[in-house]
Amino acid sequence: MSFQVTTESVNVPLIGERRRVDPCTIVIFGASGDLTARKLIPALYHLFESGQLPTPFRVVGFARREKSHDSWREELRAALEQLSRTKSVDAAVWQRFAGNLFYCSGDFNDSAAYGRLKLLLEGFGDESLKQNLLLYLATGPSQFAVVAENVFQVGLLHKWEDGADHWQRLVVEKPFGRDLQSARLLNNDLTRHIRERQVLRIDHYLGKETVQNILMFRFSNAIFERLWQRETIDNVQITVSEKLGVGSRGGYYEEAGALRDMLQNHLLQVLSLVAMEPPVSLEAEAIRNEKVKLLQSIRPLRPEDVARQVVRGQYFAGAIGGEPRIGYRQEIKVRPDSNVETYVAVNLFVDNWRWSGVPFYLRTGKSLPLSASEVRIEFRPTPHVLFAAREEASMMPNVLTLRVQPNEGISLAFNGKVPGTNSALRQVQMQFNYTSEFGAYTPEAYERLLLEAMAGNATLFIRRDEVESAWKIADAIREGWGAKPLTNREFYSAGSWGPVAAEDLLARSGHAWHDPQPSV
């Protein structure tokens, strides 16, 4: 099978620069799975619809189940209608898009299957489609090494040389290991035959517009950047709350817990963007260097610090919005005496000149009152000399809130005088809302990430040393917990904002959590 095609790269605006996306083939390993149907194909469809994919391009799905090209296409179309962000599929666009989708069935352990994959790619004719390959491992980490080895052995993956005409990149999904040791082994396996820069580790949080905006906001607004330091900032809170419980993912969650599932990756990624030093350029390596430096500046936690600076929790039965919720220990595939944390809060310190002494409070949990992600930066108060004696002048701190979701935007809280003859003050808000400013179009994180991966821009992907630095922090916490069972103060009712112990964590320093508010 061969195709006569005209080739056309597309120029796409990426972080920091415009880059070319060359004609290529995206090979998805694990193509009959949930991630492919839920995220990858919808993202590729929307990119195609908006003219952001190169001409030509192909998508090849590889998985164990037997399917024809047509039956895979039909399944994907049905999934797209349900799961895409627009919930609709344009028949003509789909027709043109689906003609680029192909399926190859085989077991990851069967080297002959990779031979069939290679034949399929050769049938595409065009050199770019045969050799520019985005090899997407949409499968569990235990399969990464065997797939990477087999694609290398069959000649579909080559070590990238400067100036090479074609490229191959491996995209991998979290979890990147379950501790530092396993992450190192995994990273060794992934880079056995290729360069680190060919490995793109996805943390989908980095694909979100508002997470990317943290960098842009910080480094393009002089008024804030000047204030971004210990003399003006009192404390920083990062909250990623989830309304859902573990649902059908109990088996996975029993092995992961909130620390591995969320804190080690999403929260530490957001923290590094909020607190890193300005990079020397917007090039991927410059940004990633600063993120690693930040993670390495976090004060190491000794086991005795963990007792003081970290709180874990687990939800018991409760209710959210009037709906009853079962407890974690009653969830499917969860041990009835499980000690796995569904909530974690930590007080970290960044030991560098900018942040010395400023507490960073991070928390994440399941079965909380609402799903939200936000960063709250609380500024130090002005000297109270002017208002101290006046009861009516209740001063609140200035607060800058970066809302990642929902209701994406930024707000600034400050004190304003209540109209009238006295000197009463009230906290008022200045709001920037993404949707009202830029319209409703916000691409899915995976659209951005796939496009950047095709263009070879690694800014939004996590480098090996970032992953390993983050695991050091998570491992120290786990070591501090040891095998100790959860105590009463660590349980929380589903629908509450977490365990009592988490309130104490901040109260000791005179602070309190500020919970995200439902969007209006």
Ligand X SMILES: NC(=O)c1ccc[n+]([C@@H]2O[C@H](COP(=O)([O-])OP(=O)(O)OC[C@H]3O[C@@H](n4cnc5c(N)ncnc54)[C@H](OP(=O)(O)O)[C@@H]3O)[C@@H](O)[C@H]2O)c1
Is 265 or 407 the residue whose CB approaches ligand X more closely?
A: 265
Nearer to ligand X, 115 or 397 (CB): 115
- Which stretches does DSSP call E strand in 223-291? 233-241
**Best CA proximity match to 445, nearest among 273, 104, 206, 254:** 206
Structure tokens at 318: 């409760």
Question: What H or E segment, with its residue span, contains residue 409?
Answer: strand 409-417
Indicate which single residue of 24, 26, 39, 398 sits in contact with ligand X (rule: CB under 6 A): 39
Catalytic one of 46, 166, 204, 266? 266
Q: Among residues 5, 9, 33, 379, which is the contact residue for ligand X, using CB under 6 A?
A: 33
Q: For residue 66, state whether it binds ligand X (rule: CB under 6 A).
A: no
Nearer to ligand X, 108 or 481 (CB): 108
- Write the CB contacts of 353 (distance below 8 Å, at least 6 apart in sequence): none
DSSP 279: P
Closest to 271 (Cα-Cα) out of 366, 377, 197, 365: 377
Q: Let me know: does 44 contact 478? Beta carbons within 8 Å.
A: no
> CA dist 333 to 134, 252, 490, Å?
35, 9, 22
Backbone φ and ψ of 230, nearest 5°: -65, -25
Judged by beta carbon, residue 39 or residue 46, the one nearer ligand X is 39
With CB under 6 A as the contact rule, the residue among 5, 9, 49, 64 that binds ligand X is: 64
Query: Does 38 engage in binding with ligand X (CB under 6 A)?
Result: yes
Options 26-34, 51-59, 82-90, 176-184: segment touching ligand X (CB under 6 A): 26-34
Shortest Å, Cβ 185 to ligand X? 16
Residue 63 sits in the site that holds ligand X (CB under 6 A): yes
Residue 475 interacting with ligand X (CB under 6 A): no
- Give the CB-side neighbour count of residue 41, counting CA atoms within 13 A: 33
Return d(Cα 53, Cα 368) in angstroms, integer.
39
Encode burial over 123-154: b for 16+ CB neighbours within 10 A, e otherwise: ebebebbbbbbbbbbbbebeebbbbbbbbbeb
Tell me the window of 61-69, 82-90, 182-190, 241-249 that interacts with ligand X (CB under 6 A): 61-69
Query: Is the Cβ of residue 81 or residue 285 nearer to ligand X in the bound state?
Result: 81
Q: Is 15 in the site for ligand X (CB under 6 A)?
A: no
Give the integer Cα–Cα distance in Å for 85 and 468: 34
> Can you name the residues that pair with 461 across neighbouring β-strands?
202
Among 55, 112, 140, 351, binds ligand X (CB under 6 A): 140
As measured in angstroms, the least distance from the Cβ of 202 to ligand X is 8
Three-state SS annotation for 174-224: CCCCCCHHHHHHHHHHHCCCCCHHHEEEECHHHHCHHHHHHHHHHHHCHHH
Please give the residues from 190 up to 219 whose contact with ligand X meets the rule CB under 6 A.
Answer: none
Nearer to ligand X, 110 or 127 (CB): 110
Return the sign of the alpha-carbon dihedral for residues 193, 130, 43, 47.
positive
CB 147 within 8 Å of CB 37: no
Q: How far is the CB of 110 from ligand X (least distance, A)?
A: 8
DSSP annotation of 375 reads E
Residue 34 in contact with ligand X, rule: CB under 6 A: yes
Is residue 65 a contact residue for ligand X (CB under 6 A)?
yes
Is there binding between residue 115 and ligand X (CB under 6 A)? Answer: no
Specify the residue, 139 or 347, whose C-beta has the smaller distance to ligand X: 139
69 binding ligand X? (CB under 6 A): no
Residue from the set 60, 121, 138, 262 that interacts with ligand X by CB under 6 A: 138
Contact (Cβ atoms closer than 8 angstroms) between residue 132 and residue 56: no
Among 35, 60, 129, 453, binds ligand X (CB under 6 A): 35
In the range 158-177, which residues lie near ligand X by CB under 6 A? Answer: 173
Stretch that binds ligand X, among 59-67, 155-163, 301-309, 413-421 (CB under 6 A): 59-67
Sole binder of ligand X in the list 8, 74, 107, 351 (CB under 6 A): 107
Give the whole-angstrom CA distance, residue 36 versus residue 139. Answer: 10
d(CA 487, CA 506): 19
Shortest Cβ distance from residue 396 to ligand X (Å)?
39
Please identify, among the stretches 78-86, 103-111, 228-236, 389-397, the one whose residues bind ligand X according to the rule CB under 6 A. Answer: 103-111
Nearest residue to ligand X on Cβ basis: 33
CB-CB contact of 136 with 27 (8 Å): yes
Region near ligand X per CB under 6 A, out of 119-127, 135-143, 356-364, 495-503: 135-143
* Interface with ligand X: number of residues (CB under 6 A): 19
Active-site residue flag, 511: no
379 DSSP β-pair partners: 233
Choose the stretch contacting ligand X; rule: CB under 6 A; options: 17-25, 81-89, 107-115, 463-471.
107-115
CB of 265: closest distance to ligand X in angstroms?
Answer: 10
With respect to ligand X, which residue has the nearer C-beta, 75 or 378?
75
Pick between residue 33 and residue 406 the one whose CB is nearest to ligand X.
33
Residue from 12, 19, 25, 30 that binds ligand X (CB under 6 A)? 30
Burial label for 331, CB within 10 Å (0-12, 13-18, 19+), is buried
Count CB atoms within 10 A of the CB of residue 50: 11
Q: Is 253 in the site for ligand X (CB under 6 A)?
A: no
108 binding ligand X? (CB under 6 A): yes
Using the 8-state DSSP alphabet, how is residue 113 labeled?
Answer: H
Closest to ligand X by CB, 358 or 450:
450
Contact footprint for ligand X (CB under 6 A): 30-35, 38-39, 63-65, 107-109, 138-140, 143, 173
Residues involved in catalysis: 266
